[in-house]
């Protein structure tokens, strides 16, 4: 049976200092699994990455991990993924993840998460894809970044249309159904609660 949808999740390879980050990652994975979805992510076993993958699998979902060979050699790969694709470069990793996704969401993370979010957002703005992009602002983690982006808007380097391309919420149970519906997919009746 194929997955009802594929959600690409960008997030930290570390757990972060606030326990709410881990709770959010687990909630996202649980939601994906409970709704018959497939997690598409970077294939790691540590930090929030491992947590979202484990929670997806535990809730009955499938997981596609895409990881560069260099990280496999450093033993960072999550060998419990439903499917693990090993690639040569980070560029190939991001391309395959993007091609496999119906929608994208960024959870808290570091520079890798920021880079992935901005790349997929830029691709949307340039018309390379038209899939929804979300930002899960757990514990207000992204508020400083959102404030900086507003300064870019006020300085004339960004537009309101660009800002509106990213949906922001602090609640997985609100953001994730919105992203899937914006992708033109329908969730089964009665299954959209965490």
- Pairwise CA distance, residues 27 & 163, whole Å: 26
pLDDT tens digits, residue range 107-119?
999 999 999 999 9
- Is 144 within a domain? yes
- Is 193 within a domain? no
Q: Which residues pair with 84 in a beta bridge?
A: 65
Chain centre distance of CA 188: 21
pLDDT tens digits, residue range 137-185?
999 999 999 999 999 999 999 999 999 999 999 999 999 999 999 999 9
- Among 167, 158, 110, 164, which Cα is nearest to 133's? 167
- Is 99 within a domain? yes
- Is 194 within a domain? no
- Is 191 within a domain? no
> Mean per-residue pLDDT for 9-26?
98
pLDDT band at 75 (very low <50, low <70, confident <90, very high): confident
pLDDT, residue 187, reads 79
DSSP string, 99-167: HH-SEEEE-S--HHHHHHHHHHHHHHHHTS----EEEE-GGGTTHHHHHHHHHHHHTTSS-HHHHTTEE
Q: Which domain holds residue 94?
A: 6-182
What proportion of the chain, given as a percentage, has pLDDT over 90?
91
- Is 192 within a domain? no
pLDDT band at 73 (very low <50, low <70, confident <90, very high): confident
Q: Tell me the pLDDT of the chain averaged across its residues.
A: 94
- Is 189 within a domain? no
14-34 residues labelled b (16+ CB within 10 A) or e (exposed): ebbeeebbbebbbbbbbbbbb
Number of domains in the chain: 1
CATH label of the domain that carries residue 68: 3.40.50.450
- Is 188 within a domain? no
Q: Can you read off the two tokens belonging to residue 112?
A: 């890798």
Predicted confidence (pLDDT) at residue 43 exceeds the cutoff of 80: yes
Predicted confidence (pLDDT) at residue 70 exceeds the cutoff of 60: yes
pLDDT, residue 189, reads 47
Residue 182: in which H helix or E strand, if any?
helix 172-182
> Mean per-residue pLDDT for 81-91?
96
pLDDT, residue 1, reads 56
């Amino acid at each position: 049976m194929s997955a009802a949808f594929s959600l690409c999740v960008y997030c930290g390879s570390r757990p972060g200092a606030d326990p709410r980050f881990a709770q959010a990652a687990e909630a996202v994975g649980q939601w994906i699994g409970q709704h018959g979805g497939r997690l598409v992510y970077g294939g790691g076993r540590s930090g929030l990455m491992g947590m979202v993958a484990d929670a997806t699998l535990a809730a009955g979902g499938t997981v596609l991990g895409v990881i560069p060979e260099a990280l496999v050699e450093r033993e960072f790969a999550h060998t419990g993924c439903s499917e693990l694709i090993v690639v040569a470069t980070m560029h190939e990793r991001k391309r395959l993840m993007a091609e496999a996704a119906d929608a994208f969401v960024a959870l808290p993370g570091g520079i890798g998460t920021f880079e992935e979010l901005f790349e997929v957002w830029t691709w949307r703005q340039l018309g390379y894809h038209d899939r929804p992009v979300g930002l899960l602002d757990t514990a207000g983690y992204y508020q400083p970044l959102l404030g900086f982006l507003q300064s870019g808007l006020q300085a004339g380097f960004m537009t309101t249309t660009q800002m509106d391309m990213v949906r922001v919420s602090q609640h997985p149970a609100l953001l994730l159904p919105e992203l899937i519906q914006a992708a033109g997919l329908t969730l089964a009746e009665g299954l959209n609660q965490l």
